[in-house]
C-alpha cells in the first residue's frame, strides 16, 4: 500500500466535519467486503453524530446478518426492495460514500440515481481502473486485501482515531475484520504485511473473531455442501490449457432451493488442483449467466473477464456475465463458448 496522502485525509476530515445526511453505498450483490465496509462506515459516522444511512442495490447474504443486524432500524435501505426510499436517501444526502466499487454501473439499477446525485462523492476502493471523474475525492489502492482494510488505514490516519484502533466503535471493528477476512478468503489470498497488522490490531481491540468465523463459515445449509459435491463430481471440467470450469443451471438451483450468496467460494476450489491455472464458474440467472473467475499468479482473470465476459475486477479475482442470446443461445452452450475463448486467452493474452 502506498502512503495515504495527508492532503486527502485533510479533505476527508473537512467533509466528515460538516453537517447534512450521509449515504453509504456499495456494489450490487454485496459481499462481505462491501457490507463490512458500509457497516463500519455507518457506525463511524453515527459515532461522530452524523445522520447516516446505508444504501445497497440488493439484499446481502444471510451469513452477514450479524453485521446488518447492528444497523439501526430504517438506516439500511435496499434498492431492490424500496426503490423510492433508497433513491431519496441518495438524492437527499450531501455526502456520499462509494465503497468497494470503481464505477456507478457496478451498482446496477442505482447507477442513474448516483449519477444524478448532487452530493459530494468519496470513493474508497481497491479495484483496478477507478472512474476518477465521477468522484470528488478518490482513495484507490490495489495493493491491499480489501476495501475494509483500506478504510481501516484511512480512518486510523485521521486525527479522530490517531492510529488507535481502540477508538473504533466495536461494531465498526467487527465489520472491518469481516470485510478483510472474506475478501482474503480467510487469509488465503491478497494478504499483505498491512493485512496481518490490521488483523492483529483489531483482535487486540477486542473483535470476537471466533464468533465472526462461526457466522461466515460454519452456518451453511446442508444443501450448499451437497450441491458443491454434485458440481465437483459431475460438472467440473478441466481443459488441456489448465482451465477449470463449472456450470450451474436454473434447474439445479431450483432443486437445491439455492439462496443468493450460497455459491460464494465455489470458484476457488478447482484452483487447488496443481494443473489448474484459471477457474471459471457460470451460474444461470434471470436474463443472463453470471461469471466468476479466479486465477493463479501470472494469469490475469481481470483481462479474461474484460475481454470475454463484459466484466473486470482484480488481477486474480474477477467477474462478469454472458448474455442470452447474444453471447450464447442458452446455458447449454456455455461449455463450448468457454472452451473456445479460454483456448484463445491462454494461448495468447493470458499473462499479467
Residue 124 binds ligand 5GP, judged by CB under 6 A? no
Using the minimum distance from each CB to ligand 5GP, give the nearer residue, 71 or 318: 318
Nearest-approach distance from CB 91 to ligand 5GP, in angstroms: 25
Site string (321-340) toward ligand 5GP, x via CB under 6 A: x-------------------
Distance of CA 275 to the CA centre of its chain: 28
Nearest-angstrom CA–CA distance, 122 and 285:
32
311 makes contact, choosing from ligand 5GP, Mn ion, none, with CB < 5 to 8 Å by partner type, with: ligand 5GP
Ordered DSSP codes for 76-135: EEETTT-HHHHHHHHHH-SEEEEES-SSGGGGGGGHHHHHH--SEEEEEE-SSS--GGG-
- Contact indicator for 253, 284 with CB cutoff of 8 Å: yes
Residue the block writes with cell 446455458: 331
DSSP 235: I
Residue 314 binds ligand 5GP, judged by CB under 6 A? yes
The number of C-alpha atoms within 13 Å of 213 and in the hemisphere containing its C-beta is: 7
Residue 317 binds ligand 5GP, judged by CB under 6 A? yes
Nearest-approach distance from CB 272 to Mn ion, in angstroms: 22
Nearest-approach distance from CB 319 to ligand 5GP, in angstroms: 2
Residue 292 binds ligand 5GP, judged by CB under 6 A? yes
312 makes contact, choosing from ligand 5GP, Mn ion, none, with CB < 5 to 8 Å by partner type, with: ligand 5GP
313 makes contact, choosing from Mn ion, ligand 5GP, none, with CB < 5 to 8 Å by partner type, with: ligand 5GP
- Contact indicator for 34, 147 with CB cutoff of 8 Å: yes
Residue 35 binds ligand 5GP, judged by CB under 6 A? no
Region of 135-143, 149-157, 210-218, 318-326 interacting with ligand 5GP (CB under 6 A): 318-326
Note the residues at the interface with Mn ion (CB under 5 A): 33, 100, 146-147, 183
Question: Any idea what the Cα angle at residue 71 is, between residues 70 and 75, rounded to 5°?
Answer: 170
Determine which residue in the list 32, 57, 61, 320 makes contact with ligand 5GP, applying CB under 6 A.
Answer: 320
Cα separation values, 100 from 17, 58, 146, 279, 335, Å: 23, 15, 8, 23, 31
Residues near ligand 5GP (CB under 6 A)? 292, 311-314, 317-321
Amino acid at each position: 500500500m502506498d502512503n495515504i496522502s495527508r492532503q486527502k485525509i485533510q479533505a476527508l476530515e473537512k467533509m466528515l466535519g460538516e453537517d447534512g445526511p450521509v449515504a453509504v453505498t456499495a456494489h450490487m450483490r454485496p459481499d462481505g467486503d462491501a457490507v463490512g465496509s458500509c457497516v463500519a462506515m455507518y457506525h463511524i459516522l453515527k459515532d461522530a453524530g452524523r445522520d447516516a444511512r446505508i444504501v445497497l442495490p440488493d439484499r446481502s447474504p444471510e451469513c452477514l446478518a450479524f453485521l446488518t443486524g447492528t444497523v439501526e432500524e430504517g438506516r439500511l435501505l435496499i434498492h431492490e426492495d424500496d426503490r423510492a426510499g433508497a433513491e431519496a436517501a441518495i438524492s437527499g444526502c450531501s455526502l456520499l460514500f462509494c465503497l468497494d466499487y470503481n464505477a456507478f454501473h457496478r451498482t446496477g439499477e442505482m447507477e442513474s440515481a448516483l449519477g444524478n446525485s448532487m452530493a459530494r462523492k468519496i470513493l474508497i476502493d481497491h479495484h483496478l481502473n477507478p472512474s476518477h471523474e465521477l468522484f470528488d475525492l478518490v482513495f484507490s489502492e490495489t495493493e491491499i486485501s480489501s476495501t475494509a482494510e483500506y478504510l481501516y488505514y484511512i480512518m486510523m490516519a485521521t486525527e479522530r482515531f490517531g492510529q488507535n484502533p481502540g477508538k473504533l466503535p466495536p461494531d465498526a471493528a467487527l465489520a472491518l475484520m469481516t470485510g478483510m477476512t472474506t475478501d482474503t478468503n480467510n487469509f488465503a489470498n491478497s494478504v499483505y504485511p498491512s493485512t496481518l497488522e490490521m488483523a492483529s490490531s483489531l483482535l487486540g481491540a477486542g473483535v470476537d473473531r471466533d464468533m465472526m468465523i462461526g457466522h461466515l463459515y460454519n452456518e451453511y445449509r446442508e444443501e450448499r455442501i451437497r450441491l458443491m459435491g454434485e458440481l465437483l463430481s459431475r460438472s467440473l471440467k478441466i481443459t488441456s490449457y489448465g482451465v477449470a470450469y463449472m456450470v450451474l443451471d436454473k434447474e439445479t438451483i431450483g432443486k437445491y432451493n439455492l439462496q443468493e450468496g450460497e455459491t460464494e467460494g465455489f470458484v476457488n476450489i478447482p484452483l487447488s488442483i496443481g494443473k489448474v491455472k484459471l477457474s471459471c464458474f457460470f451460474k444461470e440467472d434471470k436474463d443472463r449467466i453470471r461469471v466468476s473467475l479466479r486465477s493463479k499468479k501470472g494469469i490475469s482473470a481481470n483481462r479474461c473477464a474484460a475481454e470475454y465476459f463484459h466484466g473486470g475486477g482484480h488481477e486474480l479475482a474477477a467477474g462478469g456475465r454472458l448474455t442470452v442470446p447474444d453471447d450464447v443461445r442458452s446455458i447449454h452452450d456455455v461449455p463450448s463458448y468457454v472452451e473456445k475463448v479460454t483456448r484463445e486467452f491462454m494461448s495468447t493474452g493470458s499473462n499479467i
